[in-house]
Amino acid sequence: MQDTPDIADRRDAVCVIGAGASGLTTVKNLREHGFAVDCYERETSVGGAWNWRHDRSPVYANTHLISSRPLTEFPDFPMPDSWPDFPHHSQVLSYLERYAKHFGLGEHIWFGTEVVSAEPVGDGRWDVTTRSTGGGSSRVQRYAAVVVANGHNWAPAKPEIDGAEDFRGQVIHSAQYKDPAQLRNRKVLVIGAGNTGCDIAVEAAQQATTVWHSTRRGYWYAPKYVLGRPADQVNDRLLKWRLPLRLRQWLYRRTLALTTGDLTRYGLPAPDHRPYESHPIVNSQLAYYLGHGRIKPVPDVTRFVGGQVELADGRRVDADLVITATGYTPRFDFLAPELIDAGDDGRPDLHLHAFARKHPTLAVVGLLQPDSGVLPLAHWQAVAVARWLRLRRQDPARAAAVQQKESARPLQSWSRRQVVPSRRHWFEVDHIAYLKAVEELLHEMEPRA
């Protein structure tokens, strides 16, 4: 009977989906808390987004971190202090590879194996169906818990732009942009001013003949350094001093006025929101190239017409390469939407962006967009998940009490509410507020002396 494969019971083992940064730290921390772990990774190696060899990797040749090293490294496995403030993506990959080797994680990872479905079987346990990436037969195994660490920066969100069929040039999503050679001697229009769009606009300024940068709103463009220090480190100093938001916003405006300066001078729209109300854009070179006329700011694209690109102000530009740097959408194809309380738009609703509200043995790690590096937060999420699963196993009564208490935790204490309503802010968190919430949760679950 080929169609009903035997279900192998993995008993107390936990299934982890993905071996990017979040999956690796999940495997490590679950192991440290005494769990057997099977991790499935559809690629043939670790690193996820940071592994440029993977087809779905969103990094391009010149990607450097935007969060500085101390705010990006795992809290218990620092990056070498001889590395620069903003390491190159290849260094981040080698860091993750060393992390995996150091903690012996490889032996728990099944590479080239994709999870195609995870279904609850009723008693808190899960049937996980995997298939080898090259095709082939599938296999079902039963686990005590499932931790999803599948990343949310690999499925391109492509805008629908009318008239694409009679556009003379080429349209690609930023995920397909890898190398500056793709820009050389072309007339490039970049759509989107996330960090990807800004990075690509800058690279185009160095390579292309003409560069238009299309944005649908004004933003705060922050430099990588202020006062001679990485900007995120300076910002954290303000947070350490517990300056109120209003004062920080004022300081932010002052600092930007004194460094980047007034960008409306170059024709950019003024921001339609206050500082700290959108995901930070960190780019020192954009303003420089605007000032040199190498990047021409333009409004939103409305359609393609007569082989050209039409803009919201009615102008038409004659681009031959359009790069939509319009971000990524989260995808959980292997989970029924109700398991993670996802609405029609695909947006999951999870406690701390991590714990499924109705399924105590289902969690997601790394589904965050912080104003710092992702790795430290993913680490503490993984510790919290491991503690939670352990407590649930060892002391169900206390676990229930913790769950009760957590359900009363106000949303605004850990989730950024005051942000521009846009898909890119679904998982926006303030790293300090978020870590405080996780710290409290960890204290509640502390082993009793």
Partner 1 sequence: MTLLRFDDWTSPVPPVEREVLSRLVEGEDLQPPLLFVPGPGMGAWVFAEHWLTHAAGRGFPAYALTPRENGDLRAHVHDVVQVAAALPRQAVLIGHGTGALVVSRALGRYPARAAVLAAPVLAASVTDRWATLGAAVKANPLGTLRRRPRLNHKQLFSAGTDADAYLSRMTFPRRLAARGPVPRPVASPPVLVVGSPDDRVVPRKSLDRVATHYAGAPLLFPGMAHALMLDTGWAEPIDAVLDWLTKQLSAVG
Ligand X SMILES: NC(=O)c1ccc[n+]([C@@H]2O[C@H](COP(=O)([O-])OP(=O)(O)OC[C@H]3O[C@@H](n4cnc5c(N)ncnc54)[C@H](OP(=O)(O)O)[C@@H]3O)[C@@H](O)[C@H]2O)c1
Ligand Y SMILES: Cc1cc2nc3c(=O)[nH]c(=O)nc-3n(C[C@H](O)[C@H](O)[C@H](O)COP(=O)(O)OP(=O)(O)OC[C@H]3O[C@@H](n4cnc5c(N)ncnc54)[C@H](O)[C@@H]3O)c2cc1C
Q: How far apart are CA 204 and CA 217, in angstroms?
A: 21
The stretches of 208-309 forming alpha helices (DSSP H) are 231-240, 245-258, 285-291
Residue (of 384, 391, 327, 373) closest to 351 by Cα position:
384
Report residue 409 CA to chain centroid gap.
24
Pairing of strands 109-111, 170-173: unpaired
- Hey, is 340 helix, strand or coil? helix
Residue 65 binding ligand X, by CB under 6 A = yes
Among partner 1, ligand X, ligand Y, none, what binds residue 424 when CB lies within 5 to 8 Å by partner kind?
Answer: ligand X
Residue 82 binding partner 1, by CB under 8 A = yes
Among partner 1, ligand Y, ligand X, none, what binds residue 279 when CB lies within 5 to 8 Å by partner kind?
Answer: ligand X
- Using the minimum distance from each CB to partner 1, give the nearer residue, 119 or 440: 440
Of the candidate residues 57, 63, 68, 130, the single one contacting ligand X (CB under 6 A): 63
Residue 424 binding ligand X, by CB under 6 A = yes
Among ligand X, ligand Y, partner 1, none, what binds residue 327 when CB lies within 5 to 8 Å by partner kind?
Answer: ligand X
Which amino acid type is present at position 382? A
- Hey, is 390 helix, strand or coil? helix
Residue 43 binding ligand Y, by CB under 6 A = yes
Q: How far apart are CA 140 and CA 126, in angstroms?
A: 10
Q: Which residues 400-439 are close enough to bind ligand Y by CB under 6 A?
A: none
- Residue at token pair 């009977």: 1
Of the candidate residues 22, 255, 329, 369, the single one contacting ligand X (CB under 6 A): 369
Pairing of strands 369-370, 428-429: parallel
- Residue at token pair 């397909």: 176
Which tokens belong to 394?
């060892």
Q: How far apart are CA 443 and CA 318, in angstroms?
A: 59
Site string for ligand Y, 47-66 (x = CB under 6 A): -xxx-------xx---x-xx
Site string for ligand Y, 340-379 (x = CB under 6 A): --------------------------x------xxx----
Which tokens belong to 94?
């080698």
- Using the minimum distance from each CB to ligand X, give the nearer residue, 130 or 278: 278
Of the candidate residues 193, 208, 298, 386, the single one contacting ligand X (CB under 6 A): 193
Residue numbers of the site for partner 1 (CB under 8 A)?
32, 69-71, 75-78, 80-82, 101-104, 232-234, 236-237, 239-240, 372, 380, 432, 435-436, 438-439, 442
Residue numbers of the site for ligand Y (CB under 6 A)?
17-23, 40-43, 48-50, 58-59, 63, 65-67, 72, 114-115, 149-151, 153-154, 196, 334, 366, 373-375
